[in-house]
Chains A and B, each alone.
Chain A
Amino acid sequence: MNQYPAWKYLLVILVLVVSTVYALPNLYGEDPALQVTSTRGAEVDMSTQEKVRKLLAEAGIRYQNIGLADGQLLVRFPDTEAQLAAKEVVKKGLGRGYVVALNLAPRTPDWLVSLGAAPMYLGLDLRGGVHFLMEVDVDAAVRQAEERYIGDFRSLLRENKVRYARVTRYSNEDVDSEGLARSGVEIKFKSAAARDQAEELIEREYPDLELKDEDRADGYYLLAGLDDKERREVRKLALKQNITTLRNRVNELGVAEPVIQQQGENRIVVQLPGVQDTARAKEILGATATLEFRLADETHDVEEALRGRVPPGLKLYPKREGGYVLLKNRVMLTGDYIIDASSGIDQQSGGPAVFITLDGKGASIFSKVTGENVKKLMAVVFIENKTETRMVDGKPVKTRYTVEEVINVARIQEQLSKRFQITGLDSTNEAHDLALLLRAGALAAPIEIVEERTIGPSLGQENIDKGFQSVIIGFVLVLLFMAFWYRGFGLVANLALALNLVVIVAVLSMLQATLTLPGIAGIVLTVGMAVDANVLIFERIREELRNGISPQAAINAGYEKAFTTIADANITTLIAAVILFGFGTGPIKGFAITLSIGIITSMFTAIMGTRAVINLVYGGRRIDKLSI
């Protein structure tokens, strides 16, 4: 009696070995490191590595090792001092196109890395950093889109000599099934005939719009609005382009492992581990952008201008992919007139292209100015307005400045009007990026920080220390109690408890789930509750012994009878944990995760783990007394 088949022993041993291996990386600690990645145009390769190696050698900065992995360069340093000094040197030496970020690189040995093992992923409350929740006013994007139609309709009707009383934007509070606010443009006519005429025109010119007639006491109305699909599309794009813009700006901040994620329909989570200067982070993330179309100069020498001799009427601009270009001072068109920009495939050449749509007024300006300049080069300038706070004489002074960058230069092939395209792009990726940048410059939906959580590095470390300390102390207290209370069986339960801790750490490491301070509290709680299964079993065994059953039968009965109770009790706690996970945010999710993992692993270790040991010790022989 009480003998396990070999496979059960093997299973327990397997779990023990695998867990130990995957929990191991957490013991090795971290090196201060520099992480170099490319933004665009540039590539991180062997030549970059050589360059960085040379830069560090010239500056006399010692480093532990340097290596390429996953398209990024990682340089490890013996201390943070060297790391900080190196950041300055490398950043200056590599120049634009590269992101140089401070990072802590895990010291996981190669054989563990090759097994896919990695240390637990620490949340911001443990490693320090900034968490922003930003809300994008996606309705503003819809509003902007609708407002642009007002001017369009006016000029369309005027050109075709259709008489109208007025064109306005309307919105009512009625919310449709999708939860989208109903709104659009309404045009008032004096006669039904005029309306029918207008309806025909608008339908032809804007086939995507939804049109509706309405006869009211004061006149004949035509309502035009985006259909639900279009409306959703506008909102989605507004969010997406904000994410793209944020991603570009975070690159500028130089952060290792940033997180930029959509949350819900109109929010974006930005997590910047290790960033302390929240003021700078907010300023960079909160910049606004605009666009300008300018003619490029082809007669003067850029090299000459770089030396400081810029010809009159021209200005020198940096290009996004590197290099410079001279542009005329006169602005052909600003981004305000752009209704839409999307990437796709050019029908004629089959190459990637960006399609741009202008509103009525923009189209007439643009067709005039491009008509005069066919076959000339035109540049698109992306302008970011930023604010920066500097301390001057102990007082914060806010300065505004703009960063201008040429994102595209193309030749005007013919007179352009309402819809035109930019072709000659290198890849679909480039077309995609350009379209998003154009949208970011022209159609940015307002964005606002609605939540911020910043943890300084000292508090982060303190949280780790305190969390770790409470796990250890709680663990030791429970170990002592169990050994004292159940003696031999208590020691077995303690083995299971230790294994449970290792398994929890291993599972967290494997899943790369975020460990937070409440998450650590969840582990502490699990330590206290995990012994419950063993208490149930052991109390049952004692009870059976008191009833006069033989020790072997008592062990068997104890495990058998306690099982359903243990399962029932744990499932209910699991229900609470899962609900917590569904509703919780950040740190709370961390608690739900560790609690759930702890409950599940403890069922295995406390039931199968202890049974294996007890069977091994007592199984298959005559015993008179149990150490319980």
Chain B
Amino acid sequence: MQLFKSGTNFDFMGKRKLAIAFSAVLLLISVGALLTKGLNFGLDFTGGTLIELGYEHPVDLKEVRGVLEKEGFKEAVVQHFGTASDILIRIAPHEDQSNADISNRVMDLLKAHEDGKIDMRRVEFVGPQVGDELANDGGLAMIYALICILIYVGFRFEYRLAVGSVLALVHDVVITLGVFSLFQLDFDLTVLAAILAVIGYSLNDTIVVFDRIRENFRKMRKGTSEEVINVSLNQTLSRTVITSFTTLLVLAALFVFGGELIHGFATALLVGVLVGTYSSIYVASSSALMLGISKADLMPVVVEKEGAEIDDRP
């Protein structure tokens, strides 16, 4: 079974102007959404209380809201979670009662108004000081990841390729964040973790392509930079598509069967892997090309030994 006939020769680089325009539009929309709507930060970052309860029968949300409102929880957000008999209550951090007791008070209140059993499924309370810290740490983690990767790629490859790969990463991260902002999906710690995984994955893809570009620059006697990159992209195309496909396959399984708690995580990775696959073909390589990568850059004295090794192979 083969995906593409041997010797495919899509002119990827010839269409790079179109790709750049496409990426630019996506980035504009993402940045626009992030600036106007912002991210819908979850409890992990904002602080507050979250309570998930399981009733024995479908619940009328109005009734629950009424009970809570009467007792002073006016800002409580009540919604169904998964099924009609499960509810999720969110309470923003209070000025005067920002403490861990809120969840117990809410539980007692609702239990007093319910004849049947209420199953306490989940309680999360995050104090504002912790929320700020998690947000800071998360931001730092992302920046550190980008820097470390830039250093590693810069060390292993030529700087133009390093810049290209980091541009692709930023592209992927911004668009993934943009999707979360545009649809106002809950942005919590697991989503942050997913985005870091996207960074890892997208880079993985880019590196495979760059490895081939480097190899071909050294091997092919003739051809412009554009042609070499095109050949490399075509040679790695089936691998790029197949790996993305298997990864998307397991992510789809996670999305469908993993449950509500892992939904945001799966969503971020699904978006990230799709965008990452596209960007490793278009964004990373086009940027390197536009930065003026050429045969000479990859044939310096420094890598002579490595080049010789390749030539010596049977």
A interface residues, Cβ below 8 angstroms from B: 125, 132-133, 135, 276, 278-279, 282, 389, 391, 394-396, 448-456, 458-459, 462-463, 466-467, 469-470, 473-475, 477-478, 481-482, 484-487, 517-518, 521, 524-525, 527-529, 531-532, 535-536, 539, 542-543, 546, 553, 556-557, 560, 564-565, 568-577, 579-580, 582-585, 587-588, 591-592, 595
Contact = CB atoms under 8 A, between A and B. Distances in A.
A576 B149 contact: yes
B251 interface: yes
Interface stretch (B21-29, B72-80, B194-202): B194-202
Contact of A463 (B120, B141, B248, B261): B261
A428 to B, nearest CB: 37
Given A477-B249, A575-B200, A454 B254 contact: no
B123 A573 contact: no
Contacts of A455: 121-122
B36 interface: no
Given A477-B253, A568-B156, A579-B145, A467 B108 contact: no
Contacts of A539: 236, 238-239, 242
Interface string B249-272: 111011011110110011001000
A521 B254 contact: yes
A533 B44 CA distance: 36
A459 B149 contact: no
Given A546-B6, A573-B201, A535 B242 contact: yes
10 contacts: A456-B120, A458-B54, A521-B190, A529-B204, A532-B247, A535-B239, A536-B208, A572-B200, A576-B145, A579-B196
B152 A575 contact: yes
B18 interface: no
Contacts of A133: 130
Contact of B247 (A278, A279, A528): A528
A394 B148 contact: no
B124 interface: yes
A595 B197 CA distance: 9
B64 to A, nearest CB: 17
A452 B103 contact: yes
B8 to A, nearest CB: 12
A396 B108 contact: yes
Contact of A575 (B148, B212, B245): B148
B262 A521 contact: yes
B266 A521 contact: yes
Contacts of B103: 278, 452, 454
A346 B207 CA distance: 68
Given A451-B130, A521-B265, A587-B190, A573 B200 contact: yes
B122 A454 contact: yes
Contacts of A487: 1
B305 interface: no
A456 B245 contact: no
Nearest to B49: A452
Contact of A450 (B129, B197, B261): B129
A282 B100 contact: yes
B119 A458 contact: yes
A528 B130 contact: no
A394 B112 contact: yes
